[in-house]
């Protein structure tokens, strides 16, 4: 399929920073792996907004990588720093897939021990693995033996009625000591493995940020990244007083402008764009290249719908893209027409406001 071709950017100004020594700093802010959302087009778009935050793929299962027909590891070189999230529960299969990812150029392997969906549970991976900490340790150890890039874990603070602090700390200790994992991303909600949908599991179980803070105090040598319900850089900075990193999920997708000041406020650097229009214009060469390879316009623009959230013309922008990007023959003109529907003042709006 044309849509799976890896395309190295020919844009004259490389986006990706040098990777050596970057990854630990990049974990100060990351964008969560989100199924059906953080595909390669989404990640390229988000990379325009922040050159330093760590980006994650959607979860890819070992079965898909080992037996599937698609190229599930495809990415654009400008997406770095980039982590692959793996789903599975067999150490040998995970090790093989981790090696495949390292050979393709990924900067980190992240092991999914947090997804609560029935489909994931039926495959014996995701959040249900919290109840099998020794198995998780074995999986991490196998991947760490196979690759030289970091192997990390994304998990919850508990599952079902196994939600005590002791349960969580024993899980962390076992995976750290026996598996060798030194970086954990903690979604500060527990997961109900039955009775709640994945969407409800992201909203109904209460957030418990102090529990994650306590983990950092009890395991100071570990890198701990907090995730769940974080909607602004102001909130991220508050969390960074307690933990090593912050992962933003749905807010970064639905309101990508939240990342516009990340490079200056979180990383002490320079933000890539000073005006909203610059982000869209920087996407145009990428879109043109992808269209030439057979990618449908809507597969790209669906990730851009929330860019102008809260700005005059945002509704017209979303509507025009939603109604026209999936039409046969839709091309770059659809994006240009959508941009023209946003008010002139909004197009030149300072992203620092």
Q: Where are the domains of the chain?
A: 20-265, 276-347
CA terminus-to-terminus distance, the chain: 41
What confidence score (pLDDT) does residue 222 get?
Answer: 98
Neighbours of 329 (CB within 10 A): 7
What confidence score (pLDDT) does residue 124 get?
Answer: 75
User: Is 115 marked active-site?
Assistant: yes
- In angstroms, the Cα distances linking 278 to 18, 25, 80, 286, 347 are 23, 26, 21, 14, 8
How many CA atoms are closer than 13 Å to the CA of 274, on its beta-carbon side?
1
What confidence score (pLDDT) does residue 303 get?
Answer: 98
What confidence score (pLDDT) does residue 1 get?
Answer: 33
Helices 133-146 and 165-179: angle between axes, nearest 10 degrees: 30
Q: Which alpha helices (H) appear in the chain, and where do they start and end?
A: 23-26, 40-49, 62-67, 91-104, 118-122, 133-146, 165-179, 198-201, 209-218, 233-239, 250-254, 262-265, 276-292, 297-301, 314-324, 332-340, 344-347
What confidence score (pLDDT) does residue 352 get?
Answer: 52
What confidence score (pLDDT) does residue 193 get?
Answer: 81
Tokens of residue 140, six digits? 């991490």
Tokens of residue 257, six digits? 């402008």
Single out the catalytic residue among 42, 97, 115, 128: 115
Neighbours of 170 (CB within 10 A): 12
What confidence score (pLDDT) does residue 277 get?
Answer: 84
Q: Which CATH class is domain 20-265?
A: alpha beta
Return per-residue pLDDT of the chain as tens, 353 residues: 333 333 333 333 334 444 445 678 999 999 999 999 999 999 999 999 999 999 999 999 999 999 999 899 999 999 999 999 999 999 999 999 999 999 999 999 999 998 876 555 555 778 899 999 999 999 999 999 999 999 999 999 999 889 999 999 999 999 999 999 999 999 999 988 877 777 776 777 889 999 999 999 999 999 999 999 999 999 999 999 999 999 999 999 999 999 999 999 999 999 998 887 899 999 999 999 999 999 999 999 999 999 998 888 899 999 999 999 999 999 999 999 999 998 665 555 555 54
What confidence score (pLDDT) does residue 123 get?
Answer: 58
For residue 83, the cross-strand partners are 56, 108
What confidence score (pLDDT) does residue 253 get?
Answer: 97
- In angstroms, the Cα distances linking 11 to 75, 165, 296 are 16, 49, 21
- Cα–Cα distance measured from residue 313 to residue 274, given in angstroms and rounded to the nearest whole number: 19
Contact 111, 139 (CB under 8 A): yes
User: What's phi and psi for 245, nearest 5 deg?
Assistant: -155, 165
């Amino acid at each position: 399929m044309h849509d799976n071709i890896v395309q190295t950017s020919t844009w004259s100004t490389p986006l990706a920073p040098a990777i050596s020594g970057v990854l630990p700093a990049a974990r100060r802010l990351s964008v969560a792996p989100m199924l059906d959302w953080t595909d390669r087009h989404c990640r390229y778009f988000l990379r325009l907004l922040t050159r330093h935050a760590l980006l994650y793929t959607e979860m890819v299962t070992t079965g898909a990588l080992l037996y599937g027909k698609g190229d599930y590891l495809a990415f654009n070189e400008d997406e770095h720093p980039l982590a692959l999230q793996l789903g599975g529960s067999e150490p040998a299969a995970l090790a093989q897939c981790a090696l495949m990812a390292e050979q393709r150029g990924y900067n980190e392997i992240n092991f999914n021990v947090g997804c609560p969906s029935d489909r994931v549970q039926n495959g014996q991976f995701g959040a249900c693995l919290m109840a099998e900490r020794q198995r998780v340790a074995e999986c991490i150890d196998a991947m760490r033996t196979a690759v030289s890039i970091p192997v990390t874990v994304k998990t919850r603070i508990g599952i079902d009625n196994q939600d005590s602090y002791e349960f969580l700390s024993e899980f962390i200790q076992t995976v750290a000591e026996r598996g060798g994992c030194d970086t954990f991303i903690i979604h500060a909600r527990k997961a109900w493995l039955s009775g709640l949908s994945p969407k409800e599991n992201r909203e109904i179980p209460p957030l418990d940020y102090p529990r994650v803070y306590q983990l950092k105090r009890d395991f100071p040598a570990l890198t701990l990244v907090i995730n769940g319900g974080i909607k602004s850089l102001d909130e991220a900075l508050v969390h960074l007083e307690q933990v090593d990193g912050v992962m933003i999920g749905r807010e970064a997708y639905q309101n990508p402008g939240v990342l516009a000041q990340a490079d200056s406020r979180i990383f002490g650097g320079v933000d890539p764009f000073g005006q909203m229009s610059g982000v869209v214009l920087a996407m145009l060469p990428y879109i043109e290249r992808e269209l030439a390879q057979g990618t449908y316009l809507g597969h790209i623009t669906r990730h851009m719908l929330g860019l102008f959230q809260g700005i005059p013309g945002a509704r017209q922008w979303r509507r025009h893209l939603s109604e026209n990007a999936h039409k046969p023959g839709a091309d770059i003109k659809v994006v240009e027409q959508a941009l023209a529907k946003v008010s002139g003042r909004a197009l030149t709006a300072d992203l620092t406001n």
